[in-house]
Structure 1
Amino acid sequence: MNLLGKKVKNRYMSRNPKFDYLPDQDRYFSYREQPSYKFNIIGCGNIGREHMKVTMMEERATIYGVYDQNPSSIEEAERLFSTLSDHSLVKYDSLQAACHDPEADGLIICTPNYTHIDVIREAVKSGKHILLEKPMATTLRDAYEIMQLAKDYESVFQIGLQYRYKAIYAESIHETLERKAIGDVKTISMTEHRIPFLDKVNQWNKFSKYSGGTLVEKCCHYFDLMNLFAQSKPVQVYASGNMAVNFTDFTYNNEQADIIDNAFVTVIYENDVRANFNLCMFSPTFYEELVICGDKGRLKASENEDFLSAKRPRNHLEILCGEEKPSRLMTPAYPDHIETSGHGGATYYEHVYFIDNIENKQTTTATVEDGLWSVLVGLAAEQSIKLGKAVMIEEILKESQVTI
């Protein structure tokens, strides 16, 4: 009997060490797919290691090598990889070597925000498939340059705006944009309440000049979703926010931290859709919420992680349609091993679609232009806070001499 005549793929089973005693010819339900692609990770901090873990879990690719200027990050990446594979990692001593090794098919770029432009300038010379973490850049000029570099790039160039693939947002996109469950979108409201920024090597995320500012670094995910649900381009942004609690007395290398920890952002779109975003980064929980009101109903989705022993569903989605058609209450979720692999499973599916893109399958991944617009809204919001007034997108584009 040929057990491999039909391959049954269950990645939870294939990665389960309980079945490691089985020879390959006896794996059927626990069949482990042989990777077709090799990726190098550039930047091995928390998110780089998350990409490593989900690459190995997804199985169609493997991590071939790593590059990071911080030796401790390399050591931690090696430690993690040893639990995921019997192979050893190639450790590169330069960005050039990591980008141009012919053994690697793709590059996963997870370096600090302000380094993205320089890394991309080198990476595109390789012609390899590229997955660039968000935000794509910290300035509009740099984001525009990256968009131009990607414009005629023959390989895949994907931006890491993976929140589109969280269970609650994937279902919200389907219900709102495909099923038209709530009719035409009129207003969008998003919330993120969470703990402060985590520690980073050289603490770069505590300084706007390195991160792009909180509303670029952290919130570009949400601005991407707002832009997507609006199905239009933003024309005006007004924001208020300040540094109320976090890092008010934090200095590093004699430099005072300057990132805001709370904000309210209002965005008006060309098609007259209104959107707002509510941020608090000194909350004792991780909570996200999306509320979309259309002319035929209301959608609300939320994700919660509050660290309490009294458990409740992590995800919630409701569609209320009054008397016109049935309303629904749902709990969108992925298998637990996927949701706990990082960002509610979004990073895992980002990799699924990265490889699908490589294999010329149709996906809904964020384009490089989508990445630019998510950064642009964040930059406009940061500028609005500084100026204390609404900012027109057209004026920002003109100031930066950028035409989109």
Structure 2
Amino acid sequence: MVSETNNNFYTGFFKSDYLTEKDKYLFSKTPPKYKFNVIGAGMIGQEHIKVTMLEGRAKINGIFDLNENSIENTCHFFRQQYPGNKLKVYDTLESACQDSEVDGLIICTPNYTHVDIVKEAVKSGKHILLEKPMATTLKDTWEIKEIAKDYDSIFQIGLQYRHKPIYTEAIHEMLERKSAGNIKNISIVEHRVPFLDKVNQWNKFSEYSGGTLVEKCCHYFDLLNLFAQSRPEKVYATGSMDVNFTDFYYKGTKSNIIDNAMVTVNYENGIKAQFQLCMFAPMFYEEITICGDGGRLKAYEKEDFLPINGDRTYLEVLSGENGTAKTAVPCYPTVIQGSGHSGATYYEHKYFIDNIEGNYKATATVEEGFWSIVVGEAAERSIKNGEVINVSDMLEQDIYSKLLE
């Protein structure tokens, strides 16, 4: 039915400027139901603006950021991309959160600011989409989890990788269809270029990012946790800073983030998982392999910057005599896939609004966000001290014992 289509999606493929409004039916634009404010107007903030406006049921009402250059750049981007739409710039975080015209807040500021911003945001009672990672320390992550526990509105964590085409299909095959039987082990690989530049280069310092395995790799630990369907029990990791930013200083402080690692996770239900990271590869490459007692799934996504035509994604399920085999090229429509993180951010927003409307869709919960940080923090500690980290001991030391004080 036309009434159920996303007209912004249609206009991404077809020209309609030659039509007057009275001649538009497929291309007519339904006024958005919701207004969102974006807290943090950097690169990721612009991605959230883009997918909100593309999805169409909401629009971006305004932005707040402490950096004048980010505000100016995002306002310029907004004027160019969405002529005729107004973008409000707020003077304070409080005013951005408390605006009565706004239905939801999208928080995408640097990691170390999240806990303080959340404390202000929840006063509004508005729906919240908080970018990953939830925070940079176990203490702050636990505090956000407790704040959100009884929150009446939607509180979603931006672990959107689970909505990438390869992982969406892997979830369907392994957790819904049980195509490979009972999962026994899981492996994820990420090879990519170094961390990109950020305002004040905060992502080059563990103090502000939480460390590489928290900042970037919480996505993959969320996926490992999701496929394992269990709590992590023990974590062992090796890693180091071998290539990237080894001589990088910012305002007199030397960068201290790792650029490669191997992480092993044992889960309470017996499933074993591993994660391999290399951040000095000339590409973006992700691969997941899941082995069960009835088969194996493998999927990958790649961007190698080469002028050679080829599939950017691939998925296979091999079940032997237990069932059919499958190969596929998981993808979304071009306009969605190109909107950010292989289309995952678009579906993150789509499901955010679905949940606001009471049409439940599975998205990353605050509880799941917390456990993604638990694995990342355990891995960072294991690298530092060279020991296997018992997760329950770590939580007892950092969280539970302090609750009794």
TM-score range, shorter chain: over 0.9
Which residue type is aligned with residue 28 of structure 2?
Y
Partner residue in 1 for 2:36: 39
Partner residue in 2 for 1:69: 66
State the identity as a percent.
Answer: 59
Any unmatched runs of 5+ in structure 2?
Answer: none
Counterpart mapping for 1:2-401 below 5 A = 6=3, 8-15=5-12, 18-82=15-79, 83-401=81-399
Instruction: Give a deviation string over 1:284-317, Cα, whole Å, max 9, x none.
Output: 0000000000000000010000000012101100
| Preserved contact between residue 262 and residue 280 of structure 1 (Cα < 8 Å) | yes
May I ask how many residue pairs the two structures share in their alignment?
401
In structure 2, relative to structure 1, the CA distance for the partners of 1:12 and 1:298 (3 Å cut) is same
SS in 1 for 2:320: coil
Distance 2:331 2:14 in 1: 24
In structure 2, relative to structure 1, the CA distance for the partners of 1:7 and 1:155 (3 Å cut) is closer
- Which moves more between the two structures, 81-90 or 102-111? 81-90
Q: Deviating runs (4+, > 4 A) in structure 1?
A: 4-8
Which residue type is aligned with residue 79 of structure 1?
H
CA drift of 1:243 comes to 0.1
| Preserved contact between residue 134 and residue 157 of structure 2 (Cα < 8 Å) | yes
CA drift of 1:76 comes to 1.5
CA drift of 1:11 comes to 3.1
Instruction: Give a deviation string over 1:80-99, Cα, whole Å, max 9, x none.
Output: 21112412211011111111
Which residue type is aligned with residue 173 of structure 2?
E
CA drift of 1:343 comes to 0.3
In structure 2, relative to structure 1, the CA distance for the partners of 1:306 and 1:140 (3 Å cut) is same
Which residue type is aligned with residue 61 of structure 1?
A
Distance 2:303 2:352 in 1: 27
Distance 2:117 2:377 in 1: 21
| Preserved contact between residue 9 and residue 31 of structure 1 (Cα < 8 Å) | no
SS in 2 for 1:401: helix
- Which moves more between the two structures, 88-97 or 219-228? 88-97
| Preserved contact between residue 14 and residue 32 of structure 1 (Cα < 8 Å) | no
Instruction: Give a deviation string over 1:224-266, Cα, whole Å, max 9, x none.
Output: 0000000000010000000000000000010000000000000
Distance 1:90 1:282 in 2: 39
The TM-score normalised by the length of structure 2 is: 0.97
CA drift of 1:114 comes to 0.2
| Preserved contact between residue 8 and residue 28 of structure 1 (Cα < 8 Å) | no
Instruction: Give a deviation string over 1:122-178, Cα, whole Å, max 9, x none.
Output: 000011110000000001110111011101111110000000100000000000000
Any unmatched runs of 5+ in structure 1?
Answer: none
CA drift of 1:72 comes to 1.1
Which residue type is aligned with residue 89 of structure 1?
L
SS in 2 for 1:121: helix
- Which moves more between the two structures, 333-342 or 276-285? 333-342
SS in 2 for 1:402: helix
Which residue type is aligned with residue 123 of structure 2?
K
In structure 2, relative to structure 1, the CA distance for the partners of 1:162 and 1:8 (3 Å cut) is closer
Distance 2:342 2:42 in 1: 19
Which residue type is aligned with residue 378 of structure 1?
G
SS in 2 for 1:271: coil
Which residue type is aligned with residue 139 of structure 2?
R
In structure 2, relative to structure 1, the CA distance for the partners of 1:201 and 1:29 (3 Å cut) is same
Distance 1:219 1:124 in 2: 27
Distance 2:52 2:20 in 1: 23
SS in 1 for 2:321: coil
Instruction: Give a deviation string over 1:354-396, Cα, whole Å, max 9, x none.
Output: 1011001111101100000001100000000001011010111
CA drift of 1:30 comes to 2.0
| Preserved contact between residue 236 and residue 267 of structure 1 (Cα < 8 Å) | yes
Distance 1:8 1:191 in 2: 36
Distance 1:75 1:21 in 2: 32
SS in 2 for 1:277: strand
The TM-score normalised by the length of structure 1 is: 0.97
Distance 2:218 2:50 in 1: 24
1:402 counterpart (397, 400, 403): 400
SS in 1 for 2:399: coil
